[in-house]
Amino acid sequence: MPTPLESLWKFKFQFGNAQGQATSIFSKKGSFDGEQLTLDQRTYAVSDIAAIERRQKLVVMAVAADNQLHTLILVFGSQKLSQEFKERLDVARSGFWARQHRADLEKRGQVQDYRDAACPNCQATIILSHMPASPQLYCPFCETLMTLNDNGQSPANERVFRLCDDCGLFSQPQKYTIMYIWFIVVAYGWSMREKWCCRTCIRKEAWKMFWGNLLFVLGLPFAVIQLFRAYSGDWLGGSFRGLDTGNARIIKGDAAAALPYYRAILERVPYAAGVKYNLAKGLLHQDEPGHAAKMLEAALHDCTNYAPAATLLRHLYQELGEQQKLKELDAIWSIAEQQTEDLDVEETSVSDE
């Protein structure tokens, strides 16, 4: 269990709009004491925070207030601050849910079934009751997939991999800046935006930027750097090298061409639920739901609580009419459902904005 945060933590923030831009000129004051979060005039109990997502300096939250779920968008002064905000809240709310869940089991005389783990990456409490032990652990709060007690066998960079916002594949999403500069006789202009996605998804954009800037050479070095970032990671990816190329084949719909790249990674990496998840998606593209289900079972064998694999597998069991397996999967996941359900709620809420 994480240690409670005793002192009052104060911070500054701005409210933002759906485009992630600050809507107030001046900063607002906020504070968090480990149980109550105050944002300007309003205070929320930690139990009212259903979900928190962070991208760079931006935090999107789903909070329950007045019997409704509301989406709050907050803009912080730095990435460090937005990260600290999310981590402090995640530690507190995951601890709250774990205590609730333990009390529920106690009431039912099943407290011996209680099991949790502290995320080595963000310190949130992950509920693992009724789940068999596995070599990997998934944190639904920071979305990190980690190998535990691996004696140095797992790749050093494995914690940077997660699902890409754009393609939904296990990859290495990061921030890319897309910039175009143009000169037209006396007028000049530029346009810039940021994108959070994997290297495969940025490749198309980086080539567009390269050609777009080619005519007006000023932006060209910038485009070349982004192109290099989009491609070099796959060559330098260590044990995960080839992942981007495999993912690119899937995105193009050529799943058969992707499989050798994934299989090569699985020969190098002892446990890799994320790569098996991608492989399952490839098999689905090839219209092989039975094999895809087997691959997802293997992913859950590597990481018992890998929620993306369990969600897809549940869907496949329904499609394949595997009632017994569906029942067994649901029995395991009903315990940890609160964490997963809250993430679903958040997705719906944010997309409604």
Which residue lies nearer to Zn ion by CB, 244 or 302?
A: 244
Q: Which two tokens stand for residue 53?
A: 């997502």
Q: How far is the CB of 343 from Zn ion (least distance, A)?
A: 13
* One residue of 79, 83, 121, 157 binding Zn ion per CB under 5 A: 121
Q: Is the dihedral of CA 206, 209, 210, 211 positive or negative?
A: positive
Contact 9, 37 (CB under 8 A): no
299 contributes a contact to Zn ion by CB under 5 A = no
Which residue lies nearer to Zn ion by CB, 339 or 349?
A: 339
139 contributes a contact to Zn ion by CB under 5 A = yes
Residues of this chain, 181-210, that bind Zn ion according to CB under 5 A: 197-198, 201
141 contributes a contact to Zn ion by CB under 5 A = yes
Task: Find all residues with CB under 8 Å of 248, minimum gap 6, and list them.
Answer: 200, 203, 258
For residue 247, CA distances in Å to 158, 275, 346 come to 17, 10, 27
* One residue of 53, 150, 166, 297 binding Zn ion per CB under 5 A: 166
Closest by CA position to 256, among listed 230, 227, 213, 288: 288
Using CB under 5 A, count the residues that bind Zn ion.
13
122 contributes a contact to Zn ion by CB under 5 A = yes
Q: How far is the CB of 327 from Zn ion (least distance, A)?
A: 30
Measured CA to CA, the distance from residue 32 to residue 85 in angstroms comes to 9
Which residue lies nearer to Zn ion by CB, 2 or 20?
A: 2
Binding segment for Zn ion (CB under 5 A), chosen from 79-87, 100-108, 163-171, 340-348, is 163-171
**C-beta atoms surrounding 185 within 10 Å:** 5
For residues 206 to 235, the per-residue mask of contacts with Zn ion, x marking binding by CB under 5 A and - elsewhere, is ------------------------------
Contact 128, 115 (CB under 8 A): yes
303 contributes a contact to Zn ion by CB under 5 A = no
Burial label, 304 (beta-carbon count in 10 A; 0-12, 13-18, 19+): buried
Binding segment for Zn ion (CB under 5 A), chosen from 141-149, 268-276, 316-324, 342-350, is 141-149
119 contributes a contact to Zn ion by CB under 5 A = yes
Which residues lie near Zn ion (CB under 5 A)?
A: 119, 121-122, 124, 139, 141-142, 164, 166-167, 197-198, 201
